[in-house]
Amino acid sequence: MAFLTDRKRASGMGSAKTGTEHHWQMMVTSVALLILVPLFMFTFGSVLGGTYEEVVAYYSRPVPAVIAILTLLVGFFHFAKGAQTLIEDYVHGLARKGLIIGVICLSYGAAALGVFAIIRLAL
């Protein structure tokens, strides 16, 4: 076994064939977050420290609510993809699959709760 070449060790492992798609998704979400996070901070910052009624009135308008929802969705999608990459690189065996499923469920669950809270405020 010590005399195997690098090619022979890699033979049969194959590629996942999703590396380019994953990289492209991370690049697109990074650029989207580059735009959305300052917009979110600008819209959220103007209502920060206000009363509950002021916050509800502010998020009843469509633009701040849509910016907040988009920031949450894109941010948690980006988080899920990045955490999946970390887990794939550093965790092996059955724990890898469990952690990937857990991170994806956590990410989508947190995004759903955030969207629900903003919709609840907006309506």
**The CATH number fitting domain 23-122, selected from 1.20.1300.10, 3.60.10.10, 3.40.50.720, 1.10.3720.10:** 1.20.1300.10
Q: Which residue has the higher pLDDT, 62 or 18?
A: 62
Give dist(CA 69, CA 116) in Å, integer: 9
Tokens describing residue 47: 């209502």
The yes-or-no verdict on residue 75 having pLDDT over 70 is: yes
At 19 the pLDDT is 76
- pLDDT at position 16 over 80: no
**27-31, 33-37, 47-51, 114-118: lowest mean pLDDT where?**
47-51
Q: Inter-axis angle of helices 52-59 and 62-90, to 10 degrees?
A: 90
What pLDDT, in 10s, does the model give residues 48-74? 999 999 999 999 999 999 999 999 999
